[in-house]
Structures are given as C-alpha cells and as structure tokens.
Amino acid sequence: MPANKKYLTTSSWQRFAKISAGIVGGYIISALLHIALAFWLPNPKMVLITSVYTLYMLWVAIIILSFLAKNGWKLWALYVAIILVFSVLIHFGKLYNPVN
C-alpha cells in the first residue's frame, strides 16, 4: 500500500534538512551526551565502555524521530540548541570535576 501523498514532504530542501539533521546532528548529539555523562558521573570508563552500544541505539532513535518533524530547519535549530547545552555541560564538567 503506497503512502498517502498529503503526508509526504514535497520540498527537496526540507527532505535534505531532515536527513542531514538526523544523520549529522543526531550523531553529534549522541556523542556529546555520552561525553557529558563521562564528565559528570563518577566512573567515566564505564560510561565510555557502554557508549559503544548505546550511542548507536540513540543515534538510530534520533534519525527516526527527525523524520517526524514538519520543518527540517526548525529541527536543525533544535539540534543546535541541544548541542550547545551539551557543550556547556561538558565545559562545566571539566571545570568542576578535573580528575576525569
């Protein structure tokens, strides 16, 4: 059964934005989340060991969720905001937990 045409994205730029946000932005978000957890949790080695598996599972979930968005550029804005939040968490994790 083919998809209903009214639910498909007609703009190629929107399609590109969703695909690139899912692949590139999703991977960056997944990696930064695990790095932030490594800085904030007491056992960073355990986080990095389990991140081998959970990073890709989270990345796939973010790729799937990116196709549910209506506007790819708003999705990119959301992903950039999340990336900045995780970057700030990593920065403060380095400042307040310098042992790691």
Q: Which residues contact 81 (CB under 8 A, 6 or more apart)?
A: none
pLDDT tens, position by position, 17-34: 999 999 999 999 999 999
- Cα(7)–Cα(91) distance, rounded to whole angstroms? 41
Confidence of residue 78 (pLDDT cuts 50, 70, 90): very high
Q: Is the pLDDT of residue 99 over 70?
A: no
Q: For residue 58, what are the domain limits? A: 18-96
* Ordered DSSP codes for 5-73: GGGS---HHHHHHHHHIIIIIHHHHHHHHHHHHHHHSS-HHHHHHHHHHHHHHHHHHHHHHHTT-S-HH
Is the residue at 73 inside a domain? yes
Radius of gyration in angstroms for the set of CA atoms belonging to the chain, rounded to a whole number: 16
Does residue 83 belong to any structural domain of this protein? Answer: yes
Q: Is there a contact between 8 and 53 (Cβ–Cβ < 8 Å)?
A: no
Number of compact structural domains in the chain = 1
The pair phi, psi for residue 76, each rounded to 5°, is: -60, -40
Query: Does residue 100 register a pLDDT over 60?
Result: no
Question: What integer pLDDT is reported at residue 28 of this predicted model?
Answer: 97
Q: Which two tokens stand for residue 20?
A: 């690139």
80: in domain: yes
pLDDT bracket for residue 43 (50, 70, 90): confident
What pLDDT, on the 0 to 100 scale, is given for residue 97?
72
Residue 2 lies in a domain: no
Whether 63 maps to a domain, the answer reads yes
pLDDT given for residue 1 in this prediction: 63
